[in-house]
A and B are shown apart, each in its own frame.
Chain A
Amino acid sequence: MNRRTLFSRMAFSVGAALLGAAFALPLIWFVFAPFNAQADLDLAMPKPPTLTNFARVFANRAAVGALLNSLLQAFGTVLLVATTATLAAYALARTALRGKRVIEYVLLLFSSVVSGSAAMVPIFLIVNALGLIDTQVAVILVFTGGLLPTAMFILRDFIASIPRGYEESALVAGASPWRAFVDVVVPVLRPGVTIAAVWAFVQVWGGFLIPFVLLRSEQRMPASVEIYSFYSQAGTPIVPLLAAYSVLYSLPVIALYWYVNRKYGFRFFGGIKS
């Protein structure tokens, strides 16, 4: 290796390391602070490392309640999204419904247009008119509506990749379309449903704006909103608790991504992160 290529290899490695460090820097604090009972905003080695902060979080009823609310909202949404999206995706992939293409086009269009805080204005008014403000049902339904189009497209692509012959032999053997769906399609579709479900779970788990706008009472708030109760009256954060809580709250997301990534590999499905 001549001197010039050696030099450019080194410059390359240093550049790559600096870029990685720049991305890691804002998160490094989270490696130490949660285990430091006296944690503040500075970067300091905990002496000694302790789990006190986590114990304090678990002793805090509002904090635990908020995590349970997050679980309730996430599981409720995932259940509803997975069942209704699977049915609808099957219809999209396997029927000769006229206007199917139009439905798909309109769905894609609306799902990317009706989003963010602009969409929350009419959604708030609709939920209000239904008398569902400050209910978990409202949060679950609104999340479900928003996540369904993407979930349907993920699943439709999976169904399209299942050989038609599978169901056809069931139908020839005299099974009803419903039986063919439940006994033949659903089992083969497990990876697709897993990916759609994990994606939906992560969206709800981290979602801030929808519960923030639709919920009122503290005992219904999910962790994403309730985390702000770890601020004193004056608005200064109670740092040790926030650090530990942030880590606890992030763990499911990291674990799920890691699992899906390892099991199925990372793939793109349209715009998978809204």
Chain B
Amino acid sequence: MISQRGANVSSRTGIAFMTPAGLLIGLFVVFPFFWIIAVSFTNRSLLGVNALHPQFVGLKNYLDLFDPATFWSQGGFGPSLWLTIQFVVFSALLGQVLLGLVLAWISRELSPRAKSLLQGIVMLAWILPDVVVGFAWFAYLDRDAGTLNQLLHGLNFPAADFLIEHPFLTICLFNAWRGAAFSMMLFDAALQSIPPSYLETADVAGASSWQKFRDIVLPLIRGHIVTDLILITMWTFNVFTPFLLTAGGPSFETDILPIYTYRIAFKSFEFGNGAAIGVIVMLINLAFSLFYLRLAQRGLRAKGKGT
């Protein structure tokens, strides 16, 4: 054997192979993380003196953000953070996870053709480019002619301008619709890993669909559900797409953190403030990632023991 386990290539060659990717990731992923922390302690702006010679302002940007006098004011950090938490809970944790579970559970009992039709439609919502689904929903929700209001009219419900009257509910439904495919595919894979004999035994015992789901399936796919919860929480927490529907409005009713960050940094060009918000967002991301990685590693170790 010319090599030990794990080594076909010398460390020097390995480093050479790593270098191009390392430089790109270093410059555009790792460095920005530290750079945003540095900028968050300055009064950096786009134009004027503070663009070329930003001053060190210490914790001012953070103190401004959490200033009790303005924290809860309209268009402030507090309402945006609270809105984002609700957005994650309703559209991702409830919307996407439940929809994903239901879709995967239903798929099991469908004919192959019906299954691929149903999953194909759900996947389409997931893979289409952001601006296309943004425009699709804009047309769908139109007050006078949109498909949804035409449908409601046919069912004798009053028409509504959803983007104006129920903007937050709308972006929650939108995000649940947009992202359900991921949970569906994950749970679909999880369900397929359950030995059919378990469910057949339950069938013989006369268990209902719900009993089978609760007593057999749920305990077996608990790991998948936790993985799913964390991943979609992170994605929803950072999702910018609702901007294409509402741009954060009307009157900040859909001003979730990604849109708020964008507004402060790239509309007002207050990079110092924007960076401070960005740092807090990234710290929250970091907490989720650490949790997820710990979980994933525990999963790997458990798997390693099994084999």
Please give the residue numbers on chain A whose beta carbons come within 8 Å of chain B beta carbons, in ascending order.
12, 15-16, 19-20, 23-30, 33, 40-43, 80, 83-85, 87-88, 90-92, 94-98, 103, 105-126, 141-142, 144-146, 148-149, 152, 164, 167-168, 171-172, 177-178, 180-181, 202, 205-209, 213, 224-225, 227-228, 237, 239, 242, 246, 249-250, 253-254, 257, 266, 268, 271, 273-274
Contact = CB atoms under 8 A, between A and B. Distances in A.
Contact of A145 (B6, B29, B123): B29
A120 B9 contact: no
Interface in B195-239: 231, 234-235, 238-239
Interface in B112-147: 114, 117-118, 121-133, 135-140, 142, 144-147
B49 interface: no
Interface in B1-49: 1-4, 6-11, 13-15, 17-18, 20-22, 24-25, 27-33, 35-36, 39, 44
Interface in B285-305: 285-286, 288-290, 292-293
B139 A41 contact: yes
Interface stretch (B70-78, B89-97, B273-281): B273-281
Given A20-B118, A97-B15, A97-B18, 8 more contacts: A26-B136, A91-B17, A117-B240, A117-B261, A118-B238, A121-B36, A123-B32, A206-B128
Contact of A87 (B20, B33, B132, B261): B20
Interface residues of B, number: 101
Contact of B31 (A126, A148, A168, A266): A126
B50 interface: no
Contacts of A88: 17-18, 20-22
Contacts of A172: 2
Given A23-B125, A144-B28, A249-B129, A121 B265 contact: yes
A199 B285 CA distance: 23
Contact of A164 (B8, B10, B275): B8
Contact of A112 (B177, B182, B234, B279): B234
Contact of B36 (A29, A43, A91, A118): A118
A84 B121 contact: no
Contact of B293 (A16, A108, A268): A108
Interface in B133-183: 133, 135-140, 142, 144-148, 150-151, 177, 180, 182
Contacts of A92: 18
Contacts of A168: 1-3, 8
A258 B177 CA distance: 20
Nearest to B180: A23
